Amino acid sequence: MRAVLIGNAGGSDAGFVGNRLRERGFAFAEGQREHPADWPALDGVELVLTLGSEWNVYRPETAASVEAEAALVRDAVERGVPLLGICFGAQVLAHALGGTVSRSSTPEIGWVTIAVDGPPVASGPWMEWHDDVFTAPADFDVLARNDVGPQLIRGPRTVGTQFHPEVTETMVRDWLEHGGAESYRRHGGDPDALLAATRANVASSRPAAEALVDWFLESVAAA
């Protein structure tokens, strides 16, 4: 089964989510956010996965690429192609379909729990790494939230997560080594402690991510 993955150059590791989708029979064609003209077409595609990013939806320097991704989201929704957006991908999803994205007064970096209402999705701990908050499009349901804002939204054959179900220890180590450690310290965090927490938490977040993918495929994408 054909799937399209959208991520930034050097940041297209779909981690546990990608692994589970491959186990379920999907093969990915990748598109880099920096080069939207080269993205795969959606003809014959059975799933779209959009990943997180260091970008912000509202920054003018990336506006053209954000709008290209928003157009892809709208195209997928109109075609009925199942779409799963993670963190920045969920923010673009919200932006594309009438929700809002703005700077949060409370950046979230680290392992957090969320309040889930309905779907068989774990409350966490899930990795968060973002400083924005979004509102859901009008026809979407908010299925999980915390004090900062929505964490899991669902629309027709479409799901967005503010948290990172895909994250692995290797990914967090890479984020820390490429500028994330300094950012985390500015927010009062200890990068070594975050890496230790990641090492402990992925033991439960991996099966939780697999269960989330299974729910998405069987209850959302199949609807």
Q: Are 178 and 9 in contact (CB under 8 A)?
A: no
Backbone angles phi, psi at 107, to 5 degrees: -60, 145
Let me know if 37 is exposed, middle or buried by CB neighbors in 10 A (0-12, 13-18, 19+): exposed
Measuring CA to CA, which residue among 186, 190, 192 is closest to residue 173?
A: 192
Of the residues 87, 95, 108, 210, which is catalytic? 87
Residues 6 or more apart in contact with residue 29 via CB below 8 angstroms = 2, 3, 4, 5, 40, 45
Tokens of residue 212, six digits: 């989330």
Is residue 169 flagged as an active site residue? no
Of the residues 69, 108, 128, 166, which is catalytic? 166
HSE (side-chain half, CA atoms, 13 Å) at 170: 6
| Helix H or strand E encompassing 206 | helix 191-215
For tokens 């054909």, the residue is 2
Of the residues 95, 108, 164, 210, which is catalytic? 164
Is residue 166 flagged as an active site residue? yes
| Helix H or strand E encompassing 131 | strand 126-134
Is residue 87 flagged as an active site residue? yes
Catalytic residues: 87, 164, 166
